[in-house]
Chain A
């Protein structure tokens, strides 16, 4: 007992004797004006852009960030409770740029935009800090996207492949499954040695809670950090949240790891920035957004990158999400972000309500660099699918008018209908790439043409199960080499044919034909 007491005393003594008080000159100012999350401060003539400030209030310190430098005052956004700040309060410059704690300790946690835990677990103690704003890597440090990132969504991996280091926008109306695609992608990274960061900007806390629960259930929180700036947080927190998330991701990038980051969603981020800008009396432009709203997103998304070998070869893949109003793709923010990113996944309400979920529109969705990253086996089987899907949509629209269709058109329609059927996929059930290849192979080579439309889903599940049983060799070969060799192709055909021989409804059909 007395031992431990002595130990504690010893520790305290050490700490006190280690303590050196140092006098330093600080820069200070006074609050002139405060309101709605921003403050005007006089003095502080040596303040830097995006420097941290400390407001000395009667109830402890509140922090702020310099956003406007003017001749004799500065504009500050307040991070946290601005109600405590009063006119005339003293403001100290902290001589450091806004930064966020980073490190392995952040993995598996839910934090706010300043890196403070929100999940009720222990405090996060990291050794490292990263600045929130950082200039993106330049040309010399980068290399082309050449490795795939598997989303586990069939419609995306086949037609709109995404590579590591790419920025692929997910765009669509509200309540249409944008977040679902991002979450599925995170879940599908299990065991792929990829770290994930999910940044929730202006989301309902209940929605984020259910997402975190889902990730935990799927075991995805083992490699995921959630950065949350909720709907009730001040606009300043919403504004810095994606930069904080990116700074956390950059820690792993610097170690040469691959990172996936989801910004959900950037339209709310732009709205938060508009609020701050208007309060700081910056002139409004189109849709009342400030003039630098393009730079706001371009500097964030430029930080997604694929570094070359000399720079450890890490990557940050970004999946920004944009919510459109009634499908209006030509609004200000959607056009901006479409032009910044390397492609977009467009989700369509019409498809969604028809039951095609995920409601990916194959015509309007593109991936500008991803095809270079697709594995060879997938390229082989899925090469024509994009075209087929687009043709089907066109033909289906025409076919509604007349019933007399030639044989070729009819078979194209039949094939297309099955393709649409295959793209249907349940939420939270990502599909491994080897199984996707099997399914797509049987479709594009006509092995599904005689399967009735309402049995396609059943057939798909069945053939996968059969493959697990009989085709282990092929699967491991594909996963190892990423290629579909002729030998394996033949084996694949045999497995599909064998499976079809076990199906009652197909055998019956065959017999009927023979009888005639």
Chain B
């Protein structure tokens, strides 16, 4: 049977979790040897990708990004972050900040596969479409 990258990632994650902190090096070396003997080294980027996903899920981490048009100062940033945290309960949030002048104003928040588009650009376009109708 063909082993998929996802199954490799799952196996690695499970064995690392079981072993705790002690034998990590040994397990990883073994894992690499398995990959080499099955000729599956080319799966590695995919395995790492899947491993990250499993890790995030297990540790309740949600990744996301917030896009803003320009620097907004620490206070507002903190307020937004607090708000997101409140909405998402006990999840751990890893949010990156990105500045993109194209959105003109407001913010765009991506969290997992959810999206809140509060940018000025989208709203102006929306208004434009409404007026054409």
Q: Which B residues are in CB contact (< 8 Å) with A25?
A: 114-116
Those of A13-43 within 8 Å (CB) of chain B: 15-16, 19, 21, 23-29, 43
CB of A19 within 8 A of CB of B113, answer no
Which of A12, A15, A21, A43 makes the CB contact (< 8 A) with B113?
Answer: A43
Tell me the bound Cα distance from A28 to B115 in angstroms.
Answer: 6
10 residue pairs bridging A and B, Cβ less than 8 Å apart: A15-B131, A16-B127, A19-B126, A23-B117, A23-B118, A26-B117, A28-B114, A44-B113, A45-B112, A45-B113
Name the 3 nearest CB pairs between A and B, nearest first: A43-B113, A28-B115, A26-B115
Q: Which residues of B contact A12 (CB under 8 A)?
A: 131
A21 contacts B130, C-beta separation under 8 Å: no
Whether, in the assembled complex, B123 has its beta carbon less than 8 Å from a beta carbon of chain A, the answer is: yes
Residues of chain A within 8 A (CB-CB) of B118 are: 23
B131 / chain A contacts, CB cutoff of 8 Å: 12, 15-16
B110 within 8 Å of A by Cβ?
yes
Asked if A19 and B116 sit within 8 Å, CB to CB, the answer is no
A92 sits at the interface (CB 8 A): yes
Nearest-CB residue, chain B, relative to A24: B116
> For the complex, what is the distance from the CA of A126 to the CA of B133, rounded to whole Å?
12
Question: Closest CB of chain A to B118's CB: distance in Å?
Answer: 5
Picked from B112, B116, B123, B130, the residue with its CB within 8 Å of the CB of A26 is B116
**Measured between C-beta atoms, what is the minimum distance from B76 to chain A in Å?**
16
List, in ascending order, chain B residues with CB within 8 A of A44's CB: 113
Q: Which residues of B contact A16 (CB under 8 A)?
A: 127, 131
List residues of B whose CB falls within 8 A of some A CB. 110, 112-118, 123, 126-127, 130-131
CB contacts (< 8 Å) of B127 on chain A: these are: 16, 19, 21
Q: Contacts A12-B131, A15-B131, A19-B130 given; indicate if A27 touches B116 (C-beta within 8 A).
A: no
B114 engages A27 (CB within 8 Å) = yes
Residue numbers in B under 8 Å from A28 (CB-CB)? 110, 113-115
Residues on A with C-beta less than 8 A from B126 are 19, 21
How far does the alpha carbon of A44 sit from the alpha carbon of B113 in the complex, in Å?
A: 6
Residues of A within 8 A of B (CB): 12, 15-16, 19, 21, 23-29, 43-46, 92
Using Cβ atoms and an 8 Å threshold, which residues of chain B touch A92? 115
Given A23-B116, A45-B113, 19 additional A-B pairs, CB 8 A:
A12-B131, A15-B130, A15-B131, A19-B126, A19-B127, A21-B123, A21-B126, A21-B127, A25-B114, A25-B115, A26-B117, A27-B115, A28-B113, A28-B114, A28-B115, A29-B113, A43-B112, A43-B113, A45-B112
Query: What's the Cα separation between A289 and B5 when bound, in Å?
Result: 31
Q: In the complex, what's the smallest C-beta–C-beta distance from B79 to chain A, in angstroms?
A: 16
Considering the chains assembled together, what is the distance between the CA atoms of A140 and B113 in angstroms?
43
- By a CB distance below 8 angstroms, the chain B residues around A27 are 113-115
Chain A residues positioned under 8 Å from B117 (CB to CB)? 23, 26
Q: Look across to chain B and name the residue whose beta carbon is closest to the beta carbon of A71.
A: B6
The complex places the Cα of A111 from the Cα of B34 at a distance, in Å, of 59
Least distance between A70 CB and chain B CB atoms (Å) = 12
Residues in chain B near residue A23, CB distance under 8 A: 116-118
Query: Which A residues touch B130, using CB under 8 A?
Result: 15, 19
CA distance A15 to B113 in the complex (A): 33
Residues of B within 8 A of A24 (CB): 116
In the complex the two chains form, what is the Cα distance from A354 to B116 in whole Å? Answer: 69
Cα–Cα distance between A45 and B130 once the two chains are bound (Å): 30
Nearest opposing residue in chain B for A92, CB measure: B115
- Contacting residues, chain A, for B115 (C-beta < 8 A): 25-28, 92
Chain B neighbourhood of A26, CB < 8 A:
114-117
> Which B residues touch A29, using CB under 8 A?
113
Residue from the set B113, B127, B130 with the largest chain A CB neighbour count within 10 Å: B113
Shortest CB distance B46–A (Å): 12
CA of A12 to CA of B133 in the docked complex: distance in angstroms?
A: 11
List residues of chain A with CB within 8 A of the CB of B123: 21
> Distance (Å) between the CB of A18 and the closest chain B CB?
8
A29 to B123, CA, bound (A): 21
Q: Which of chain B's residues has its CB closest to A45's CB? A: B113
B109 to chain A, nearest CB (A): 9
Complex CA distance for A85 and B130, rounded to whole angstroms? 26
Please measure, in the bound complex, the distance between the C-alpha atom of A46 and the C-alpha atom of B113, giving whole angstroms: 9
Question: Which residues of B lie under 8 Å from residue A21 when comparing CB positions?
Answer: 123, 126-127
Name the distance in Å between B120's Cβ and chain A's nearest Cβ: 10
Residues in B with CB closer than 8 Å to A19 are 126-127, 130
**Assembled-state Cα–Cα distance A92/B116 (Å):** 11
How far is it, in angstroms, between the C-alpha of A406 and the C-alpha of B59 when the chains are bound?
A: 96
User: A16 CA to B116 CA in the complex, in Å?
Assistant: 23
A437 to B: closest C-beta gap in Å: 54
CB distance from B68 to the nearest CB of A (A): 15
Nearest Cβ on chain A to B110's Cβ, whole angstroms: 7
Minimum CB distance partner of B130 in chain A: A19
Hey, which chain A residues are within 8 Å of B112, CB to CB?
43, 45
* Shortest Cβ distance from A15 into B: residue: B131
What residue of chain A has the Cβ atom nearest to residue B116's Cβ? Answer: A25
The distance from the CB of A66 to the nearest CB of chain B, in whole angstroms, is 14
Smallest CB-CB separation from B120: which chain A residue?
A21
